[in-house]
Structure 1
């Protein structure tokens, strides 16, 4: 098992500010996102996709052709990373542009939750699929949203302005958006279901 973190770029809204890429063991991208890396003179370790949109494939980068249309580029990329032994992936470009892709990426995250540790980053927030007990530090003053997908039961929170005490959230009925962290360390627990936590910058 490889404990190093992967930088993965998808073809959503491109990052306005890139993280320190030196902290990543692997830099990779789907074929649609490769042009952003190329434009910013960033050389990935490999790229993957069906490559319908790239006329001239790079010759000094590993190219993994994945034409199977039964799976999304994100799903196929996660399988490649899993097969390579990686467990922790920071995902950029998963939101923005076409919102059906964004929802599909959340769906994919749930499918891989028992195999990979995924954290998503965009130009406004970071978000991830919560464990049954999740502690978050350095949170005071930040906007925290709890979004069930589609439901999460018996949620308890500590450190939020509007606490939950053994309450359920159900998409289409009640979700927990735009809460505020009032302490530096917050804790969120729930009994069952799926819950995404969004932390706005």
Structure 2
């Protein structure tokens, strides 16, 4: 793991297992996720948000108040990390609980795709906004879903049970959910559009 990566906790479904935080250069959280960190004896480098989800503001960590309601707490903390020179963000707690937050987090990832590399982890697997060419190892037997956001054109896949060969996916018409990796290494490419990949164990 790159030691310049950031571990960011959001206030969605809490991870059942804590990642090895020693591998991260920075550990931070939105205000709503701080109670989970505190309960697990995790001291972040900073927390940020409008602090509408926290009862007692801690004195032992850096607190960054971002009250602007035109942006989500996720978007605002990404801006802080970007301004501090970080670009590779691992996000925990982006899904689960209120699903409008989950969709909003996908929207935010799309807005930051040209500035940050954002990878989401939950209790089922990993998901991320894909580059136009992706090659992944250790995938045999895993569920792979291709989710256009809202469309992706010219998709070609290798190593999946149901192959795509220069095909298109459109949200609301056709999506590529619940495919399966039949090889250890899979390759996915597309020509235009945006697409999230979900890799579930």
Fold shared, TM-score > 0.5 on shorter chain: yes
1:69 Cα deviation from its structure 2 partner = 0.1
Q: Mark the runs of 5 or more structure 2 residues left unpaired by the alignment.
A: none
Q: Distance in 1 between matches of 2:110 and 2:14?
A: 23
1:57 Cα deviation from its structure 2 partner = 1.3
Q: Does 1:29 align with 2:37?
A: no
Residue 193 of structure 2 corresponds to 193
Q: Distance in 2 between matches of 1:72 and 1:111?
A: 12
1:21-69 alpha-carbon deviations (Å, 9 max, x no partner): 1111111000000000001010000000111232321112000000000
1:102-131 alpha-carbon deviations (Å, 9 max, x no partner): 000000000000000000001112000000
Residue 123 of structure 1 corresponds to 123
> Within 5 A, what are the aligned runs for 1:79-118?
79-118=79-118
Partner secondary structure for residue 4 of structure 1 = coil
Q: Distance in 2 between matches of 1:106 and 1:55?
A: 28
> Within 5 A, what are the aligned runs for 1:169-184?
169-184=169-184
> Within 5 A, what are the aligned runs for 1:128-139?
128-139=128-139
With structure 2 as the length reference, what TM-score do the two structures score? 0.97
Q: Distance in 2 between matches of 1:30 and 1:53?
A: 9
Q: Distance in 2 between matches of 1:162 and 1:168?
A: 14
Report how many residues are paired: 200
8 Å Cα contact 2:3/2:24 also seen in 1:
no
Partner secondary structure for residue 82 of structure 2 = helix
Q: Does 1:150 align with 2:150?
A: yes
Over the aligned positions, Cα root-mean-square deviation in angstroms equals: 1.1
1:78-102 alpha-carbon deviations (Å, 9 max, x no partner): 0000000001000000000000000
**Which segment is superposed worse, 2-11 or 83-92?**
2-11
Q: Mark the runs of 5 or more structure 1 residues left unpaired by the alignment.
A: none
Residue 16 of structure 1 corresponds to 16
Q: Does 1:141 align with 2:141?
A: yes
Q: Distance in 2 between matches of 1:194 and 1:94?
A: 19
Q: Which runs of 4+ in 1 moved over 6 A?
A: none
Q: Distance in 2 between matches of 1:40 and 1:182?
A: 38
